[in-house]
Amino acid sequence: MSGGVGPTCGDISLPKEEEEQHMKLTSDNDVNKPLHPDNNNKNNKRRTFLSFRQLNALAIIIVLSASGMVSLQDFTFLVFSTLYMFVLSKLAFPTLPNTSTAPPIFDSPKLNKLLSLHTLLGAALGLLLPILYIFSGIFCGDKQGIRAAAPHVFLLASQIFMEGLAFSSRFSIPITVFVPVCYNSMRLFALMEWLDSEIGKVDVADGGSMRRVMVGRGLAVANLAFWGFNLFGFLLPIYMPRVLRRYYSDVFKVKD
């Protein structure tokens, strides 16, 4: 997992799995080649269709947008981050031609197993349970709870979709870090607003049962803790430095 639940988890795959997927797109069945495609190589394989995970994420994005539960701010962020990703890919982190072989970013079997569990937990906690919470809120008439949880789900679905795009052969590996870091940071603010809304339900009559209120608070707190650790404990201090080190190492090799 690159930090989300997209291919990024991301919706869901591990950094190791993501790297292998990117290698398949940009190399000739050589899993040790770097993750930067050669645009002039006719043997490069490009993803021409959206993955099943991306289609599911896109469906969530469309449903939430059509329902009116997504604010203009969140939708604008999706559009801006998409445009900015393309700008970064052209000006700051362009794709590089294939260079010499390089070791994988994560090559420890034990670490990959831990990341696999981390990914499954993130998928269940960040997407599945909040979606169930929203659906149950529709039947309970908990409009406040639905509107509070929807931004997090929308942004996570957007992250999954964007991570899938980032793993096409037209983007270099630093772009696959930009997406989860960018969206993970934005979702922390959405989660804090969700928690604040749930805490404010103490005297709200239309918030459903007290059990639902406690479930909403628990989900908000658990997601805030999980994705806070994901950003500050994994993406920024561990994953990003390794990816940037790999990218600039290949930059120097190309110059030489």
Q: What is the pLDDT along the chain (256 residues), one digit of tens a residue?
A: 455 554 444 333 444 444 444 444 444 333 333 333 333 343 344 444 678 888 999 999 999 999 888 899 999 999 999 999 999 999 999 988 865 455 667 777 888 888 889 889 999 999 999 999 999 998 888 888 899 999 999 999 999 999 999 988 789 999 999 999 999 999 999 999 999 998 887 665 555 678 888 999 999 999 999 999 999 999 999 999 999 999 998 888 777 6
DSSP classification of residue 69? -
Q: Is residue 32 part of a domain?
A: no
Q: Is residue 47 part of a domain?
A: no
Helices vs. strands in the chain: H and E counts, helices first: 9, 0
Q: According to the model, what pLDDT value does residue 14 have?
A: 41
Q: Write out the DSSP string of 16-31.
A: HHHHHHHHHHHSSS-T
Amino acid symbol at 148: A
Cβ–Cβ < 8 Å for 187, 152 = yes
Structural domain that includes position 122: 52-92+113-255
Q: Is residue 41 part of a domain?
A: no
Q: Is residue 152 part of a domain?
A: yes
Cα distances from 141 to residues 152, 153, 189, 199, in angstroms, run 20, 19, 25, 18
Q: Is residue 135 part of a domain?
A: yes
Exposure letters 26-35 (e unless 16+ CB within 10 A, then b): bbeeeeebbb
Q: Is residue 36 part of a domain?
A: no
Q: Phi and psi at residue 209, in whole multiples of 5°?
A: -70, 165
Q: Is residue 40 part of a domain?
A: no
Q: Please state, in angstroms and rounded to a whole number, the distance separating the CA atoms of residues 85 and 34.
A: 21
Number of structural domains (the chain) is 1
Q: Is residue 3 part of a domain?
A: no
